[in-house]
Structure 1
Amino acid sequence: MHQRTRRAAFAAGLLAAACLTAAPAATAAPGTPAATATAAAPAAGHACSPSVSLDRFSDALDKTAYDGTYVGNLSALAVDLPRSRPHASGGAPTGSIAALSDRSFLFDLDARTLRPTGVVRLADENGAPLDAEGLVVDRDGTRLVTSETEPSIRRYSRDGRILDRLPVPDALRVAPAGRAQSNGTFEGLTLLPGGRTLLASMEYALSGDTAGIVRLQTWRRAADGRFRPAAQYAYRADAGLGVPEVRATPDGRLLVLERGFTSGVGNTVRLYLADLRHATDTSGIEHLTGQDGVRLVKKTLLADLASCPTLGATARQPQPNPLLDNIEGMTVTGRAGDSLKVLLVSDDNQNATQTTRFSYLRVRT
């Protein structure tokens, strides 16, 4: 979702000036705020909380373009599993990161340098662009992509051809077809371990549900390989926040991003660990009021990212921490000892006051 109701786009001249492939993150000096990254190795003082530390950040792709396409508006990330293998040194994957733009483009990024290596335009069945928000690379390399317009989930080939479209429960459709609010539907998408269960997160509550209670919808893979609607769960976001992304952990729990924006103050971004076990299946419950005996998804705060070290980051607008921006995308890229390596990206909305920034976290769950 575009924060602050679809910010104004850059003038055409800015894009023309930026039509260069981004330089690798590794070329910047440690601590450089406006080019790429800090030193790669975590150090004392990098902690955001007892569970989360910030390795580094990279602004390498900010206000750049690739093959004539603006590299920004990034709303989701996924490791391109078929072509990615752990790096021998334990660093970043050696393959690709798929990066989804909500302006209907899907980029391939080199996992070590973030350098774009390819781009594909996505469209719906009528050739119209998507408001693309969630991304999963399935085990066969095809891409599952949400659009929050309807909302929808479509399966695409690597070259952008539509292969399939998943059924969506009526209540989750945007009004008047359903009870969802525009720009408040499928923001997050993840495949649970084993590859049989797909989960999409609504960003905001349905009409008739208590504010802050968002629905997590699942699909189960049938014998024919197609996903069909399954259980649904209720997750309570913090007051004033929505859910822009979810990502499964190797043990079947969820990393959940919660995010909000206050004019003149900036972004609030919190990372939670959520557990679906023992939560009520709400697929048959029309209205979630908080007083209906429903067992919500249990969540545990891992970090408020305002508490992370800045590592020299700068912001073009007020922020409680200059590291913060409109963070929308998240993926788990591997392990580092007892921690998960987690990559975040912010959606700059193609706006001069925002930044496309990648943040590298280590998360103990």
Structure 2
Amino acid sequence: MRLRTVLATLTAGLAAATTLAAGPANAHPAAGAATKTATDTALGDACGPAVSLGGFSDALDKTAFDGTFVGNLSALALDRDGSLAALSDRSSLFGLDARTLAPRSVVPLADESGAALDSEGLAVDRDGTRLVTSETEPSVRRYSRDGALLDRLPVPPSLLVAPAGRATANQTFEGLTLLPGGRTLLASMEYAISGDSTGIVRLQTWRRQHGRFALSAQYAYRTDTGLGVPEIQALPDGRLLVLERGFTAGVGNTVRLYLADLRHATDTGGIAALTGQDGVRPAGKTLLADLVNCPSRGATAKQPQPNPLLDNIEGMVITGRAQGRLTVLLVSDDNQNAVQTTRFYRLRVRV
């Protein structure tokens, strides 16, 4: 399906409250589940000079499909046929209807021993295979459309979780994206590894060689104070959309969207410690929007939030491009928690 078609169908889906609330025949909302959808409007939805809110949907919050909880969503990707793939960090990969966002399929994922993954990042390769990160080791694995494990990519020793490496458990590969042309894969660490200054995260790339991905350049990215990187997406020109996110108990989430550029960044693959005073040039970044400034549009929060629209946003995918703007879909990870929400957001982004 062409991107313009995906854009049109996704717009219709987020605007169709009754369709989203109903969902497919075997997706059943839990008792008391929120099924609220905000419709799109043309003006008055600015989150910042370059970003506006097109709509949001809570229709999948606390629902189930084929006996699998629809939640814990940590990543989104556009599939080859124009549908959406949504990754749960509980080892489930959902296929979603691009118009309604309703689940159409679910595939379980497992590691080499059959154990579940802490699956966080997702990219769909040009042959339809799924590239999936797990932040347990961390790892990047390739799966077929039906969930069969095909391959596992190498990971630099320093990025492995201690004691094997210098990373902290649950703070490793969160974001995953293929750069334009599909020859380079990029994964983002969520937080700094031991020995690096707080706030400096590493972006690892792999380059396709003879049909397989081999380790390639690595870059530094500096986050705002107290924030990590839950997701990253490549633009058609090779720049990156980067989500930065944090949480403060009793206050709520901070979620910011940045534009990043690797063109003048230093390859940090051979640098043991990134201190911020070592002559290393990190990726350039420009703030596009702090999502606390988005209109709430009637959204409600189940826990304190600086804006009731906000939640634990982890997934992001670019779904279309029209009139000089990108259409970007976000999703929040509810952690299967009663006070968090599975919420989809549609943004219009000018870069």
- Tell me if TM exceeds 0.5: yes
What do the CA deviations read for 1:27-46 (whole angstroms, capped 9, x no partner)?
Answer: 427xx994242223x32210
Separation (CA, whole Å) in 2 of partners of 1:287 and 1:35? 47
What do the CA deviations read for 1:284-317 (whole angstroms, capped 9, x no partner)?
Answer: 0000000100011100000000000011110000
Q: CA RMSD in A?
A: 1.4
1:300 aligns with 2:299: no
1:14 match: none
Separation (CA, whole Å) in 2 of partners of 1:44 and 1:72? 31
**Runs (5+) with no aligned partner, structure 2:** 1-12, 22-32
Separation (CA, whole Å) in 2 of partners of 1:341 and 1:49? 15
1:273 aligns with 2:259: yes
**Runs (5+) with no aligned partner, structure 1:** 1-23, 85-95
Deviates more, 1:43-52 or 1:104-113: 43-52
1:194 match: 181
Q: Helix, strand or coil for the counterpart of 1:124? A: coil
State how many pairs are aligned: 327
Q: Are the aligned partners of 1:26 and 1:113 in contact in 2 as well (CA < 8 Å)?
A: no
Q: Alignment partner for residue 28 of structure 1, among 3, 13, 17?
A: 17
Report the alpha carbon displacement of residue 26 of structure 1 after superposing the two structures with TM: 4.7
Q: Are the aligned partners of 2:14 and 2:55 in contact in 1 as well (CA < 8 Å)?
A: no
Separation (CA, whole Å) in 1 of partners of 2:126 and 2:153? 17
After the TM superposition, which parts of structure 1 deviate over 6 Å for at least 4 consecutive aligned residues?
none
Separation (CA, whole Å) in 2 of partners of 1:180 and 1:116? 34
1:132 aligns with 2:119: yes
Q: Helix, strand or coil for the counterpart of 1:48? A: strand
The aligned runs of 1:5-154 (5 Å cut-off) are 26-28=15-17, 34-40=34-40, 42-81=41-80, 83-84=81-82, 96-154=83-141
Separation (CA, whole Å) in 2 of partners of 1:340 and 1:225? 30
Separation (CA, whole Å) in 1 of partners of 2:47 and 2:119? 30
Q: Are the aligned partners of 1:25 and 1:36 in contact in 2 as well (CA < 8 Å)?
A: no
Q: Are the aligned partners of 1:336 and 1:362 in contact in 2 as well (CA < 8 Å)?
A: no
What is the one-letter code of the residue matched to 1:254?
L
Separation (CA, whole Å) in 2 of partners of 1:185 and 1:34? 31
What do the CA deviations read for 1:187-232 (whole angstroms, capped 9, x no partner)?
Answer: 000000010000000000010000000000000000x210001000
Q: Are the aligned partners of 1:34 and 1:314 in contact in 2 as well (CA < 8 Å)?
A: no
1:326 match: 312
Give the TM-score normalised by structure 1.
0.88
Report the alpha carbon displacement of residue 363 of structure 1 after superposing the two structures with TM: 0.4
What do the CA deviations read for 1:118-168 (whole angstroms, capped 9, x no partner)?
Answer: 000000000000000000000000000000000000000000001110000
User: Could you tell me the percent identity over the aligned residues?
Assistant: 75
What is the one-letter code of the residue matched to 1:363?
V
Give the TM-score normalised by structure 2.
0.91
Separation (CA, whole Å) in 1 of partners of 2:39 and 2:307? 19
1:310 match: 296
What do the CA deviations read for 1:209-267 (whole angstroms, capped 9, x no partner)?
Answer: 00000000000000x21000100000000000000000001110000000000000000
Q: Helix, strand or coil for the counterpart of 2:38? A: coil
